[in-house]
Structures are given as C-alpha cells and as structure tokens.
Amino acid sequence: MKYLAIDSHLFIKNRKKFSAKLAHNTFAIFNANDVMPTNADGTMPFRQNNDLFWLSGVDQEESLLLLYPENPNEKEREILFLKETNKEIAIWEGAKLSKEDAFNASGIRTVYWLEELESKLKELIIKADAVYLNKNIHSRAATEVETRDDRFRKKITEKFASKQIKEVAPIMHELRSIKSDTEIALMQKACDITEKGLRRILPFIKPGVMEYEIEAELMHEFLRNRSNGFAYQPIIGSGIDSCVLHYIENNKACNDGDILLMDFGAEYANYASDLTRTVPVNGRFSERQRAVYSAVLHVMKEATSMLRPGTIYKEYNVEVGKLMEAELIKLGLLDKHDVQKQDPKNPLYRKYFMHGTSHYLGLDVHDVGSIETPMQEGMVFTCEPGIYILEEALGIRLENDILITKDKPFDLMGNIPIELEEIEDIMNA
C-alpha cells in the first residue's frame, strides 16, 4: 500500500466496540472483497471490503476475519484467515502478509491460513447459538454482482441449515458513522491531498485545455502524496456538462467564457475526501456566473452552520430548500408568487437543485449511516448545494467535508480556496 502504516490500536478499539454489540454466544464473519476480472487474464485494482478493513486494518485479498467474543478458547476469540505465500506467488505477485505482518497491522495474534478455515469453522459453529454474516444493504447499493460475502452466506446456509443467521450490517453502519480521532486524522490527510490537487490545477486551467488533462494533473498530485488516486470517478465538466450531475466522460476542450465544474477527491488509507469547486475557464467570473456562484456559496455557508449534534437530516434538507428558494427568486429563476402556491411535496426549487445537500463520508464516499439518526459528534458529512441552469449551460456546485463536533461544525476543507476572489487570484497568478 502507498499510505503509511496505521497504528493497530485503531483496529483493536474498533473490534472492542463491535464485540460489545453482538448477542450472547455468537460470532461474526467478514470476507475480503474479490479481485474483479476485466478480460483475458486482467484484473481490476483490488479494493478491500471496508468493514473488514475497519475491524482489522488488513488490506489484502482472500482474507477473512472471525470474531467470537465469548469463545471459551480465549486464543480464538479473534481469528484472521489469510492466503499463504508460496514461491510462485512471491515471484509473480510479491509476498503476501506473514502471520507476524498481520499481527502488526491488526493486533490479532491468532492467524491461520485459509486452508484451515473449513475445519475451524465447523468446530466453532457448533459452539455458537448464531452467526452474524455481512451483506451490502446500503440504500444506493449495486447488487447485480455476487460478492464473496454473498457466496459465503450461501455456503453457510447450505452446510448449516439449522444455524440462525443474524445481520451484521446494521451494527457496522452504526459504528462506522462515528469517526474516531485517528480516522478523522486520516480523512484530514485525504482532504489535504485534495487541496494540493486543486491548487495545482487552478493556474493550469485555460481556454483550450482538455478536461482529461485536468484529471491527469490531479492524479499526478494525488499519487505523489501517497494516495491510491481518486476516491471516486472524478467529474470535470465544462459548459453544458456542468449541469450533468454525474458527467464522467471528461473528454472535451474547455472554452473561453464557460464555467467548469470539478467534483473530485483523493483517497488516503482507504478513506475518502469529496470536494467540488466551480471556476471560470478564462479565470474571471462573468457577472451572471458571479451572481449564481455567490448564491450557492451563501446556501453552503448557512447549511454548514446547521450541521450540529441533534440535527435531523430530513428537517435539515427542508431548511436548505427554503434557503435555495430565496436565492433562486433573487436570481430571477423562480417567481415568489409561484413559490407561495407550489405543491409542498414537489417544491419548485427542485428544477434547479435536484439532489440532496449532504451525505455521510468515510471509508465509502457515500458512507454508511442512518439518515433517521440525529446527527452526532464524530459524524462527517459533505455539504454540497448547487444550482443548475440548463438553458444557460451554467451549473455551479460547491462542496466541502464537515465534521460534526460538540460545538460548531469543523470544516476539514477550511483551507481550500472557495471565495470568488481567491479563485480568480490563484487562476491569474
């Protein structure tokens, strides 16, 4: 991995929090993600299962974690199963984790090779009253591809049909939504790398530059700072494509007079950052661009101030909608009389601001957590209002990553340029 080693105490503490949530005499199993194929003998870059990583720090394929807090055998209350290195693997792929390496990363002393899983699982499952298995139940989950966890669940239910299966995902969603100090530091590192990327590209942007050239400059800066790259597919959309929410082609020239919307973030140690900035291609905002930008920035600042302990997500979005209505009326995009008569279930501002204002952020860019739960200290949310005027080919979105604290919100991207004058000064330096 490119990132610096993480102190194993993070994962020891995480396992302690998790174990306290399990029912009496049960154990939980977490599988690594698959190495996904492309074509012929090609594979996609490996990305670890976030739950397994959060609990162990093990960042290797074909790994399995078993946690059985009440196992009579104290040595087998935490077990890692790993792929064993042989000479051929070492030559072709590089050596895999040794048992000592795995202990140093995770703090787990009991490590077996995968060949021992079948016999050990059969021995343990007889002792336990139930087994917790993992499943992707994220509200935006893509479930067409069968995961390693899915296949493992089939295997358990076929071989041990009478054994009760419990869902581990709700526990993980609750625990992962609250970030520890160590996690916040890792997320801050990701945000700091993202800042370096933005400062690199602002002077680089000029009429005629290609969107993919901007993407390439960002990737260069991310990699040289120990990031694996983008935390998600970057959006570099100029002109009309600034109004396309998930534009990822990034394949055309940026023209004089156009606006350029850039939504990107560096990953560090598997933790995501998520930034959006919108800038004028020629380095100077037009009067109209300036007015719309100022409106979005005002809504963003007001929305950020609401991200406090006790805030209810749905109520927060309603209040942000009211702020946006007022700005759209000032911009001449909505009529205040029409707004007074609108259907509350289908507010008019949705024509120009059609997405949510915030989402959880962490190991996933759209991280796990319940929107029904009041906001709590330690949660991290994005704040990303936008106005998209298709008929003017003018889309402006701004986004920072906000930590909920016991006092006022803390902006993890507070040092990243966002004011109109800041952006113009850097672009024209």
Residue 49: exposed, middle, or buried by beta-carbon count in 10 A (0-12, 13-18, 19+)? buried
Over its C-alpha atoms, the chain yields an Rg (Å, rounded) of 24
Confidence at residue 141, expressed as pLDDT on a 0 to 100 scale: 64
pLDDT per residue rounded down to tens, the chain (429 residues): 899 999 999 999 999 999 999 999 999 999 999 988 889 888 889 899 999 999 999 999 999 999 999 999 999 999 999 998 877 777 777 788 999 999 999 999 999 999 999 999 999 999 999 999 998 876 676 667 888 999 999 999 999 999 999 999 999 999 999 999 999 999 999 999 999 999 999 999 999 999 999 999 999 999 999 999 999 999 999 999 999 999 999 999 999 999 999 999 999 999 999 999 999 999 999 999 999 999 999 999 999 999 999 999 999 999 999 999 999 999 999 999 999 999 988 999 999 999 999 999 999 999 999 999 999 999 999 999 999 999 999 999 999 999 999 999 999 999 999 999 999 999 998
Burial 398-420 (b: 16+ CB within 10 A, else e): bbbbbbbeeeebbbbbeebbbeb
Strands 130-133 and 164-167: parallel
On whether the CB atoms of residues 410 and 309 are closer than 8 A, the answer is no
- Tokens coding 406: 């016991």
Listed in order, the ranges of the chain carrying CATH 3.40.350.10 are: 9-176
Nearest to 153 by CA among 27, 25, 19, 30: 30
User: What single DSSP character describes residue 255?
Assistant: P
What whole-number distance in Å separates Cα of residue 407 and Cα of residue 415?
19
Torsion of CA 237, 300, 293, 230, to 10 degrees: -20
CA distance 273 to 230: 9
Instruction: Decide: 96 and 128 in contact? Cβ < 8 Å.
Output: no
Residues with Cβ within 8 Å of 41's Cβ and at least 6 positions away in sequence, in order, are none
Per-residue pLDDT at 250: 97
CATH 3.90.230.10 in the chain is located at 181-427
Is residue 80 within 8 Å of residue 98, measured between CB atoms?
A: no
* Domain 181-427, CATH class in plain words: alpha beta
Residue 143 is predicted with a pLDDT of: 67
C-alpha to C-alpha distance for 335 and 49, rounded to whole angstroms: 48
Q: In what order do the strands lie in the sheet with 110-113?
A: 110-113, 78-82, 64-67, 26-31, 130-133, 164-167
Neighbouring C-alpha atoms within 13 Å toward the C-beta of 56: 30
What's the pLDDT at 139? 65
CATH architecture, domain 9-176: 3-Layer(aba) Sandwich (3.40)
Structural contact between residues 370 and 178, judged by C-beta atoms closer than 8 angstroms: no
**Contact between 264 and 230 (Cβ < 8 Å):** yes
CB of 222 closer than 8 Å to CB of 229: yes
Report the SS3 class of residue 385: coil
Distance CA 135, CA 141 (A): 10
pLDDT, residue 93, reads 78
Dihedral, CA of residue 285, residue 291, residue 292 and residue 298, to nearest 10: 110
Q: Is residue 267 a contact partner of residue 227, using CB atoms and an 8 Å limit?
A: yes
Q: Give me the helices (H) in 44-180, please.
A: 50-56, 87-92, 99-106, 117-127, 148-159, 169-176
